[in-house]
Amino acid sequence: MVKIRLRRVGRKKLPVYRIVIADAQSPRDGRFIELIGQYNPRLTEGGLKVDADRANYWLDVGAQPTDTVRSLLRKAGVMKGRHEARVAAKRSGSAVAVNETAAE
């Protein structure tokens, strides 16, 4: 299984995290497949940078984000876009079904 998770970098007492795509079996700071962003918790503004296109690609493929990464993706607006697209598709699908039953 592929996970989207944080990888800790930075020196002692000054953490910086990279958002990576990694196999669930690999260690936290071990091998990873792709780097899609970074998070600096010490900065209030500009501390979160995410490549939304790549994040959406990996979520579409089936990668599971950890709880922390999921909340960071929400802050970056990645999850909101996915939610809106899903709701729009569901609404258009139900509208088509209603139109088909009305036509009969």
Instruction: List the chain domain ranges.
Output: 2-76
Say which CATH class 2-76 falls into: alpha beta
- Report whether 52 contacts 65 (CB < 8 A): no
- Tell me how far apart the alpha carbons of residues 10 and 1 are, in angstroms, rounded to a whole number: 27
- Tell me how far apart the alpha carbons of residues 39 and 19 are, in angstroms, rounded to a whole number: 7
Mean pLDDT of 35-41: 95
The angle that helices 78-103 and 52-61 make with each other, rounded to 10 degrees, is: 60
Q: What is the pLDDT of residues 43-66, one digit of tens each?
A: 988 899 999 999 999 999 999 999
The whole-chain average pLDDT of the chain stands at 87
- Report whether 55 contacts 73 (CB < 8 A): yes
